[in-house]
Amino acid sequence: MDLRQLGYFVSIAEHGGFAAAARARYISQSALSRQVQLLEEEIGAQLLERSSRGIMLTPAGQILLDRAGRLFKEVTQLKEDVVAEAETPSGRIVLGLTPSMRTLFAGNLVEHFLRRFPNVHLGVIEGLSHTMADSLSRGLCDVAVFIRDDAKGRALSTRKLVDEPLVIAGQSRAGLRMDTPVDVALVARHPLIVSRSNRVTTGLEKEAVRIGQPLNIIIDVQPLHLSIDLVCRGVAHMVVPFSAAVTEYEAGFISMAPIKGFDTGWVVAWPSDRKISTATMRLVEAVQSEVQALNLGERLKRATG
């Protein structure tokens, strides 16, 4: 089907006649009539009826008009997508990551992204989840990965990356099991390493106080690698999202168990209140691709049996 002929037909329907459509399309009425005739011959059905009241659509013409509208929208979107992909992303953009996400995929992400888009100058900053959300809102970075709840109340667009449980982790001989969730009361009985500036941990603290069993926090630590090291040494247990310590868990260095009622999820986000560059969207897509490659969902299924 000739899209040009289809466009002429749509113009006739929208303008209510050949004369107005011909003026809008800068074509003679006779040429316009001939194009519609060729379209009808190709389709094998009459599309228009002339009457004293002007042009009327036949039932076949109405179906074609409805479908043509959707088709032209898809064609327009296709052109925009192709042009956007054809553009060579360039400029400076900054990515914000939490420590756990940085550990999981930042190396692969940066390597692959710069190899594909060598004209982009990429910067990376690191901080806790709510800090990265705040940095994104304030324009200190262009794309950020953080816990989904920290996007609330901000002018941000987000795409889901992964959902996962909050876990308690201890030495491998502690005997914690991913297929055996524990309650807050059990968590409260262990000496804990936490990061009080982490809002997920704050929620756990509040629940422990509510049930009358405050958490036994012996040290407040922000660096994730230090927390994991102290857990492996048997200094204390720690509370983190599953992905934060999945590598050490799979290596057998630690044991973990989900905490009942405490789940979290990660998003990649960018500003929704200002125009963003092609490079920014390519970075968003690259983050999604790298997280998918981690297969965290499948690793969680294997861990929980």
Q: Which residue has the higher pLDDT, 13 or 136?
A: 136
d(CA 177, CA 144): 32
d(CA 243, CA 297): 10
pTM confidence score: 0.67
By the 8 A CB rule, do 169 and 245 touch? yes
What is the mean predicted confidence (pLDDT) over 213-229? Answer: 91
By the 8 A CB rule, do 296 and 304 touch? no
Backbone angle region of 269, left / alpha / beta, with phi > 0 → left and psi within -120 to 50 → alpha: beta
By the 8 A CB rule, do 190 and 237 touch? yes
- 3-class state of residue 197 by DSSP: coil
pLDDT band at 118 (very low <50, low <70, confident <90, very high): very high
- 61 C-beta neighbours (distance < 10 Å), count: 22
What is the mean predicted confidence (pLDDT) over 199-223? Answer: 88
Q: pLDDT by residue (tens digit) across 9-35?
A: 888 888 888 888 888 888 888 888 888
| Pairing label, strands 48-51, 54-57 | antiparallel
Q: So what's the pLDDT on residue 112?
A: 95
pLDDT at residue 178 is higher than 60: yes
Q: Which domains are present in the chain?
A: 3-86 (1.10.10.10), 92-305 (3.40.190.290)
- 3-class state of residue 265 by DSSP: strand
**Percent of the chain clearing pLDDT 90 (strictly above):** 58
**Percent of the chain clearing pLDDT 70 (strictly above):** 96
pLDDT band at 136 (very low <50, low <70, confident <90, very high): very high
pLDDT at residue 198 is higher than 80: no
- The residues, any chain, with a CB within 8 Å of residue 149's CB and separated by 6 or more, are 199, 264
- The residues, any chain, with a CB within 8 Å of residue 281's CB and separated by 6 or more, are 84, 270
| Pairing label, strands 191-194, 216-220 | parallel
Q: Which residue has the higher pLDDT, 190 or 199?
A: 190
By the 8 A CB rule, do 200 and 264 touch? yes
Q: What is the mean pLDDT of the chain?
A: 89
